[in-house]
Every structure is written in C-alpha cells, then in structure tokens.
Structure 1
Amino acid sequence: MAARIPATVVTGFLGAGKTSLIRHMIENNRGKRLAFLINEFGDLGIDRELLLGCGIEGCGEEDVVELANGCICCTVADDFLPAIEAILNRPEPPDHILIETSGLALPKPLVKAFAWPEVKARVTVDGVVTVVDGRAVAEGRFADDEDAVQAQREADDSLDHDNPLEEVFEDQLLCADMVVLNKLDLLEDGVADRIEAELKPHLRAGVRFVHAREAAVDPAVLLGLDAAAEDDLDSRKSHHDSHDGLDDHDHDDFDSFTLSLPEVADADALEARILAAIADHDILRVKGFLDRPGVSRREVVQAVGPRLRRYFDRAWKDGEPRRTELVVIGQKGLDRPAIEAAIRG
C-alpha cells in the first residue's frame, strides 16, 4: 500500500499571517513538490493571487487551487473533496498538501473530511497549525478572559461574551497541533509569555508554541508533525459540536463584499479613507490590489483592524486587466453603501 500524502491545515483568524506563513514555506521548501488549497471568504481571490505573485519557483498556477465564495468547512462535499481528488490524481502527486482555511473557518469539520473513505486511504492530516496575531491578543482581542472581554464590551457595544468571533478563535486553538504566535516584533519583552499563559487553557495537552516575526517559520518545524488528526477528533473539542455529532457553524454572522475602484493616483489618501472607514464601521479586514497609474507593479493592501500595510508584490502581466479591487469583511450588518462612499471619497 502506497504511503499516504501528508496534508497540513493552516488556520487562524483574519490577518494573523496565514498566507505569509505559506509563502515562507514555498520559499524554503527544499525541493518538495507542494500543492496548495486556498479557501477565500468573499468573491475576490486575494490570497491565491498573493501566492502566485511571489515569483518563486515551484509555485505555479496548477499548484494553487482556490475555493472561493464560501467557507471550506461548510462546503466539504461539494468543493473540498473534488479539489483534493484532482490534486491526488495528477500524474505526479505532491509530496505535501498545504490547506489555508478562511479566517472565519472552523478547522474541525475540515479535519473530519479526511476521515471520509475517499480521502483517508490516500491522505492524512499531518497537523493543524493555528496562526495567532500576537498583537491582537496582547490588546485583549479574542481571549477568553473576563477582564479582557469586559474591556472589549466597554470599547465596542457590539461585542459581548457570546461574540461568534471569540468562538471561532477558540475553536481554532482547540483543534491545533501547533500554534504559531506571530508578530512578535510588535510586542514588548515579556508579553509573549503572558499570551502563552492566556492561551494555554484552550489548547490540548502537548501542543507547543512557535514564535515568529512576519510568519517566518522553518517548514521543518511545521511539517512532519505526524499527528494523524483525522483519527483524533474526539480530543479536538468545538463550541459547535452538537449532540448528533454534526457541526452547526453558520457564517451568517459575517458579511463581505468586493469594492471596485478606478486607478489610484493618491494611495496615501485612499489609505486614510480605508482606515477611517474601518474605525467608523467596525470592519474586521480589508485586502486587495491597487492599480497605480504610471507604475508597472501591482500594489497590495492588507488591513487588520487599525493596522494597514501596502507593498508592491509583482509586475502587472502582459494583457492582464489592471484593476483596483478590495474585499471588505466584517460582522453581519455591514453598511455597504456607507462604507463604499467613505472609501471612494
């Protein structure tokens, strides 16, 4: 019997650094054939484009499969299984599969899918890697701590102890085989130890932390965990486990939409408008691309809460439509007309 292909599930909340982690794996894969399954929330394939824009040998169009318009944990039968089978049926199957879930996804239903007969004979879950935004946790966001939750409630009337975002975050920790505590360059000395102490009660016994800046972790640390997670589901508790053994996760808690804009002559002014819209409308995440007139390279926008980064990732391809498009993600009830008007200016 042929050895099963290992698959690593990379999960974590919005903007924690999942795509950066995978890009670092691509750059340092030491000759392994890797395949990538990227799950987007929203209808613009930003994360797939970010990976394809890396320009790294071994990261080709055929190696990055995207599942858009829905969370992978909710579309296992319709989307995930056919995509996995297509990867496995290639003339040269990969040595390792990397699966990046949406920041809004629960990892446990995905791990369950690997127990299906169609998949289990050929693939095993090498491990679930949860990426954590250390700066966000340090600020009291998505931590199951009474004082931190109360501070959040005082700062934002829309948040309470039953906030679905906290449940998503905790489920991602409960399913983890390894936790990457990211963005340590944004933390003061000693804060990482405090974060570990806060998060440890939400982890299974033996789960280790790895510290990272810019999500740069040696693939040798993350791959080869040999967890066989599909055989260890009972120990991976979830807020969304129901009595019949099914998961009742519902993404009606979140909204997303795509905003198309003309070419951007003043990117600094657009950045200021995006940040103002984030502050005024409780937006969780903004990501996308800018078309800068007279500039040959595509500019990336990545915003998580009040933090926004811009950088050029690659040149526009010959014949490629130059476009400015942004995905906006937030909790249910986003005021789309007001947000669009604020960002357009």
Structure 2
Amino acid sequence: MTHSSASRQPVALGLVGLGTIARNQHLPSLAAVPAFRLAAIASRNATLDTLPGYPDIDALLAAEPEVTAVSLCTPPQGRFEQAASAIGAGRHVMLEKPPGASVSEVEALAAMARAKGVTLFATWHSRAAAAVEEARRLLANRKISRVEITWKEDVRHWHPGQDWIWQPGGLGVFDPGINALSVVTRILPSALHPVSAVLDVPENRQAPIAARLSMVTADGAPVEAEFDWRQTGPQTWDIRVESDGPEILLRMGGAELHVAGEKIIAAADEEYRRLYARFAELIATGASEVDLSPLQLVADAFLLAERRTVAPFHDPALPG
C-alpha cells in the first residue's frame, strides 16, 4: 500500500546522544524536515526542556512506544548495543558516522535489521554535501589518472575535551578523514583499496593524530590521502581528481565544486537535512542503506599501517 507524502504522518523519532554534533546538526535539521517529529531524547548528561528525556536508549524505548525510529549520535564505541536494542524493539535506526567501531559489528546490525524488517541507515554526511553528486556524474565515464586528498583541521577546535576519539575504536584523525573516504568512494567510477599507510600516534594517546594513506583504484590509478589534526588557521578539506577530462576539485568537504579551475557549485551546509530526508524515504519504502566501504578502508589502513610515535597531544580538558 502506498501513501502520498502529504498524507503520511510525521515519524516520531528519538534522538540518542545530545553532544556537539546533535545540537549543531541533528536538532536544526530535524526541525527542517517535516517527515519527522522529534519526540524524545536519551542522554546520560543532557536534556531538552521541551521534550521527554531518558538516561539511555532502553529507558526511551520502554517509555515511548510511539517512537518508531531512533537516530544514534553517540560515539561509535558502545553503539552496537544501542542499535541492537532499537532493532530488537522493532524501531528503524539511523547511525551517525562512523556507523560502528568495527566493520563486522555493523554487518551484524544489518543482518538483524533484515530479519526484523526495519530500516537501518548508515549515514555518511559528507556524501550529502552539495557538490558530491555532480562530481560523481562528471566522473562517471572518465578514466581516472590520479586522486589527491588533503584533509587537515584543528582537533582542538572541532573536538575539544572529547576523549573517545583518542581511544581504541575512536579512529583518531580518521574521524574526519573518513568523511573524505566516503566522498571518494562515492564519486570514483571504480573501487579502491589501500596499499600502504603511515600513522602518527601521540605517545600519550591510542589513536593517530595524522596519517598518510596510499590507495589504488581497480583500474590502477593512485589515490594519495593526507590527514592531519594539527592544522590551525584556515582548514583544508580538498579532493582533487585528474582524469582524461577536466580536473575536478571538491573543496570545503564537498560544498564547492571546481571544474578546470572554475567554481561551478558553492552551497550552504544542508547535509543533515538531506540525510534525514533520505532516512524518511528508506522507512517509507521498507529499505535499508548500509555502505561500509569508507569504514573498510580505514580498517584496512590500520591493518597495513606503519605506526610512528610522535610528540604527546595535550588538551586541557582531557586526562593525560
């Protein structure tokens, strides 16, 4: 049975986790997407005055039977249990990136969702940047010769006081770097795999602060990536693609598209609005979307990497 979008009632959604990304992106985006109605919050440390709040997802699921979908904005460590609880309770689930602490645990969640008949959406917000689909279209029939990724930002600005990113499963500099990998795996016309990697790990942390990753496409084109969390001043999120056509340059994480040096697209950030609109489509059609290729590239990088110890990283808000 089908229903027009005008006749469908908004889906009651529970938001799990109320940290920086939830406040800056998820809350305003949900307010702008009429397909959803934010109905409840689950967070250990925060609440919203206007909504019911619960200390964890299990309490939310037990108390809010009308909530048919949940969006998980918590760190990847421990997210498997949260998603499994929601799927087991028959709720649709949207996962922040990275979708989990390992590839195999998200594959297990996908199998659970299929068995239960609910939607699982593993999101990659940078794929929803304004210029990504046009870049994909322009490259669809091109012979790629070289790709350069430069993804450098200031961790103290973007992740102040966040200890989980430095722990096993937190990915370190691959937390932003996986955004670049999500775009590359979307726009290139052939698959790619890592051949070598170097990880720079602060002596007082468990995860890398910088990384260099060498990959190759199935057609033999080199893909070089440089990730660094130590850049201050202007931030760099660039992907340059050389082919038998005009050079393609995605800047600002995919918000800008330059073709042969000319700026073609420059748009405001509406990535999360697009993600929630896509989540609504998946729920309405009974489908799931779980592409783990960006996470697999990161997992392979850790498998292949030479690990180098570098100077300690200090954040006044963190231990050590």
Give the TM interval when normalised to the shorter protein: 0.3 to 0.5
TM-score by length of 2: 0.36
TM-score by length of 1: 0.34
